[in-house]
Structure 1
């Protein structure tokens, strides 16, 4: 699975990490749905850290992204507009 963090690049995650990725994404969705800005910051940071722990795809390689995350400096208000009931990661 290839995940892009906008403004940062792409990361390759092993397919067996998808369930863990969805759990972290669910934490983010719950925090945003609960209007919990502190929880959002923690959960969004955890999501970005999880993705960054994957293998960085060199900028010279082009791959379709399976998921695209907003930039790390996204605000709580911006995230509320982006997140539907499914979080940021489909699946």
Structure 2
């Protein structure tokens, strides 16, 4: 799967990493619903680090369609709230 981190680029990530990403996504959603700004920032940072650490960056000139689009590391709680679906950032 191809994951885009807004403002950074794309990484190729194995579907086998989805359970861990979904766990972090669920935490992020709960923190957003509870208005936990520090928890939101910590979990967003962890989610993006997980994607970067387990994924393989695509070249800057690659134009692959993204399966997932994640917010930039400096996105605010309100900006991320606008990106969310009922399932969070990561469906499933």
Q: Same fold (TM over 0.5)?
A: yes
**Which 5+ residue runs of structure 2 have no aligned equivalent?**
none
Structure 1 residue matching 2:57: 3-state secondary structure:
strand
- Secondary structure at the aligned position of 1:87 is classed as coil
Deviation readout 1:53-81 (Å, 9 max, x if unpaired) = 11111112221111001211111222233
Task: In structure 1, list runs of 5 or more residues that go unmatched.
Answer: none
The answer for the alignment partner of 2:39 in structure 1 is 39
Q: Which runs of structure 2 are paired with 1:1-91 in the superposition (5 Å)?
A: 1-53=1-53, 54-91=55-92
Pairs aligned (count): 91
Could you tell me how far apart the structure 1 residues matched to 2:40 and 2:86 are?
15
TM-score by length of 1: 0.90
- How much is the aligned-residue C-alpha RMSD, in angstroms? 1.2
**1:83 Cα shift?**
2.5
* 1:85 Cα offset (Å): 3.2
Contact 1:25 1:89 in 2 (8 A): yes
How far apart are 1:44 and its partner, in Å?
Answer: 0.4
Partner of 1:61: helix, strand, or coil? coil
TM-score (normalised: structure 2): 0.89
